[in-house]
Structure 1
């Protein structure tokens, strides 16, 4: 750590640093608040998606109790064939967005499968869409939480460390310069009195 120089140049440098820190802190704090608002929205969206998933499960268990009959092959009726995920920039943080998804339905004979398989396929489609949305929502939330943590650390660094330290340095330099100036004045007066006594 460099030793603090107690001179006017150092005072000017520390004052400029303090000014920069004070200009940067409000925008950083605003970014933190915006990210926290987005995180709250993301959490609400995730909870809503998870609620819809639970409601879909309940509906399936209520309307399709015949699923417990294991003799009918219900595997691979609906598959995810493609997912397109984009990016959205929120206050300088890139988060994923579900743009598009394709679900492939397996062809099956209505004569070989029971009539309720059609209703099951519809429910499976809805559930897969919700699960994809849930994955993206979780990823968004994780990224936003990390961003909030990082920006909060920066805000705390400026607010609790850099600004107070710079203010202390400025105070220290000013006191030193003030004492030095007072000592110069006293020395000048004493020199003048000595000269007067010596008759110079």
Structure 2
């Protein structure tokens, strides 16, 4: 750390610095709060997706108990062909957005397969989409966690280090300048008294 210069110009510089820090801190703190709100929304979205996955599993178990029948080939009925993603900016943090999921259904004979295969295909498609959504929710939460951590570190740097240090520097410079001024006045009075004694003697 550079040695603190105990001068009026240094006092002016430190005072300007303090004003800048104090002006910047509220904006940074507001950004942190907004990011925390976004993180809470992302966490809620993830919970909603997990709840939707659990609900779909329960629905399939109730509506399609015949899935336990192992003789009917059910593998590879639906494939994830592609995922279309977008991007949104939340307080400087770029977050992925799900635009759509492209699914591919394997041809299966409606007359050959049992009647319940069609609702199963629909359920598999919904589950694949929910799984993609969950992965995206996880990614959004992780990105927002990182953003909140970084902004919190900056807020703490300003609030707990830079501002107190600058305030202490200002106090030190003021005390030094005040002491120097007092010493100059005392020296002036001593010199004046000495001159007065010399002229009267």
Fold similarity call, TM over 0.5: yes
Matches within 5 A, 1:15-34: 15-34=15-34
How high is the TM-score relative to the length of structure 1?
Answer: 0.97
Q: Distance in 1 between matches of 2:131 and 2:44?
A: 16
1:110 Cα deviation (Å)?
Answer: 1.7
Provide the aligned length of Structure 1 versus Structure 2.
200
Cα-Cα RMSD: 1.0
| CA positional deviation for 1:125 | 1.1
Q: Distance in 1 between matches of 2:142 and 2:68?
A: 36
Any residues of structure 2 matched to 1:148-187 within 5 Å, and which? Answer: 148-187=148-187
Distance 2:58 2:92 in 1: 40
Counterpart for residue 76 of structure 1:
76
Q: Secondary structure of 1:113's match?
A: coil
In structure 2, how many angstroms separate the alpha carbons of the residues matched to 1:126 and 1:187? Answer: 89
- SS in structure 2 of the partner of residue 84 of structure 1: strand
Matched, 1:67 2:67: yes
Stretches of structure 1 lacking an aligned partner (at least 5 in a row): none
Tell me which residue corresponds to 1:197: 197
CA distance in structure 2 between the aligned counterparts of 1:13 and 1:167, rounded to whole angstroms: 12
Q: Secondary structure of 2:172's match?
A: helix
Runs of 4+ in 1 over 4 A off after TM superposition: none
Cα-to-partner distance string for 1:133-161 (whole Å, 9 max, x where unaligned): 11111110110011111111111110011
CA deviation digits over 1:161-197, x for unaligned, max 9? Answer: 1100100000000000000000000000100110111
Q: SS state of the match for residue 199, structure 1? A: helix
Q: What's 1:5 paired with?
A: 5
Q: For residues 54 and 135 of structure 1, what CA distance do their matches in structure 2 show?
A: 15
